[in-house]
């Protein structure tokens, strides 16, 4: 038995599905953020799998950039969550509707 690239792609698709389900069903803003990180990681897994199977290091380079963007996004996003919590005393995204009119 050989591990072909399909195994990694299916695992990555499954993790993306779990991340999408988490974003759509959870109401805690921090857990929504963590689900987004999960989706970013499943995309990373696809990139690394193709990079390794094709013998080309560009895919891993892009994973490096995705990690940079994820770190920046987590820092800014959590700062926004703290700022919102200071005003509304909740992180439940059903109650955060200040942009709704």
Partner 1 sequence: MTLEVILFFVFGIVAAVTAVIMITRSNAVISALFLVLNFAALAGLYLTLNAQFIAVTQIIVYAGAIMVLFLFVLMLLRPENEKKFLELNPKIKIFAMVVSFVVFAQLAYIIFFARPSQNISKDLAKSVEAGTIEAIGRELFTNYIVPFEAAGFLLLAATIGALVLAKKKFD
- Interaction residues for partner 1, span 40-59 (CB under 8 A): 41, 44-45, 48-58
Interface with partner 1 includes 82 (CB under 8 A)? yes
Please report whether residue 36 would count as binding partner 1 according to CB under 8 A: no
Angle between helices 29-54 and 5-25 (to 10 degrees): 170
Residues 6-25 that bind partner 1 (CB under 8 A): 6-11, 13-22, 24-25
CB half-sphere exposure, 18, CA atoms < 13 A = 14
The least CB distance from residue 83 to partner 1, in Å, is 5
- Least distance between partner 1 and beta carbon 66 (Å): 10
Q: Which of residues 59-78 bind partner 1 (CB under 8 A)?
A: 60-61, 63-65, 67-76, 78
Going from the C-alpha of 4 to that of each of 16, 17, 36, 45, the distances in angstroms are 19, 21, 27, 14
CB 22 within 8 A of CB 34: yes
């Amino acid at each position: 038995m050989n591990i072909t690239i399909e195994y990694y792609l299916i695992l990555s698709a499954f993790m993306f599905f779990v991340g999408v389900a988490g974003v759509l069903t959870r109401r805690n803003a921090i857990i929504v953020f963590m689900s987004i990180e999960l989706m970013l990681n499943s995309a990373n897994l696809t990139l690394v799998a193709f990079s390794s199977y094709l013998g080309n290091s560009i895919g891993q380079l892009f994973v490096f950039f995705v990690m940079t963007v994820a770190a920046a996004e987590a820092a800014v996003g959590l700062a926004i969550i703290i700022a919102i919590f200071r005003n509304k005393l909740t992180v439940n995204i059903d109650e955060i509707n200040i942009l709704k009119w």
